[in-house]
Amino acid sequence: MKYSEYTELIKDIPCTESLRYFQYKSYWPAIVMGDNGSSEIIKIPPRTVINGNDVGVSGFTTNAFKDNTNITDLIFTRLDPVFMGPVLFCGSFSGALSGCNNLRRITIPRSITIIGKGTFNNCNNLEDIYYEGSVEDWKKIKITHEKYEVEFGQQLPGMPVCEKIDERLVHIPGNDALFTANIHFNCNLMELYSSEKCVK
């Protein structure tokens, strides 16, 4: 689906009210821990109210939406470096979308530089990625999908190195969907938030 068509389809849908948030300290942004409802479209608001305070929403946690087979769309605009840095579910944040096998569309902010192992595990129906950056920005993202391995044998006579027995590039499953989905570039993700309930 073209981004212009998607914008018209999504922009007036309100942000998801059943999201659960976590805020480490009162002056830090909030992060989403999951969804208490059964929403098909998860629209994470740029801001929310916690304990009467208006705070920014920076992203989501480990396993936030893991195995949620209801989700068809995940829309978010920001990943705050205080919590996640420029990393999408890498390291301790992996598994956030694993098992979301009905996920069709997702937005990815330009701040992402790494997409970690297993981020899109079993997201076999992913059709469209709406990316905030350019083609060049996308090519710079480190997507974990393979690793280089070398097997060594005996030390070579008179040399401080070992004989190379086997050399291979090993496929790491879990992000295959990124190589089959349509990627739309230079998307202004804030266009998806025309509702006053989402943007303050």
Judge contact between 98 and 75, C-beta under 8 A: no
Q: Flag whether pLDDT at 88 surpasses 70.
A: no
Token couple for 131: 């990316």
Sequence-ordered strand ranges (E) for the chain: 19-22, 30-35, 41-43, 47-50, 53-60, 73-75, 87-88, 105-108, 114-115, 128-131, 142-143, 146-155, 162-171, 182-184
Judge contact between 32 and 19, C-beta under 8 A: yes
User: For the chain, what is the mean pLDDT?
Assistant: 86
Average pLDDT estimate for 31-56 = 90
Average pLDDT estimate for 110-116 = 84
138: which residues sit within 8 A by CB, 6+ positions away? 131, 183, 185
Q: Flag whether pLDDT at 133 surpasses 70.
A: yes
Give the long-range contacts of residues 17-24, CB within 8 A, separation 24 or more. 19/44, 19/48, 21/48, 21/50, 21/57, 22/61, 23/50, 23/55
Residue 23 banded pLDDT, cuts 50, 70, 90: confident
80-84, 120-124, 168-172, 195-199: segment of lowest average pLDDT: 80-84
Judge contact between 174 and 146, C-beta under 8 A: no
Average pLDDT estimate for 177-183 = 96
Using a pLDDT cut of 90, give the percent of the chain over it. Answer: 45
**pLDDT at site 125:** 97
**pLDDT at site 5:** 97
**pLDDT at site 196:** 54
80-84, 93-97, 101-105, 125-129: segment of lowest average pLDDT: 80-84
**pLDDT at site 83:** 46
Question: Quick check: helix, strand or coil at residue 91?
Answer: helix
User: What's the CA gap between 179 and 81, in Å, rounded?
Assistant: 26
Cα distance from N-terminal residue to C-terminal residue, the chain:
28
**pLDDT at site 92:** 44
Q: What's the per-residue H, E or C state across 161-173? A: CEEEEEEEEEECC
Residue listed under structure tokens 């230079």: 186
User: Of 90 and 110, which is predicted with more confidence?
Assistant: 110
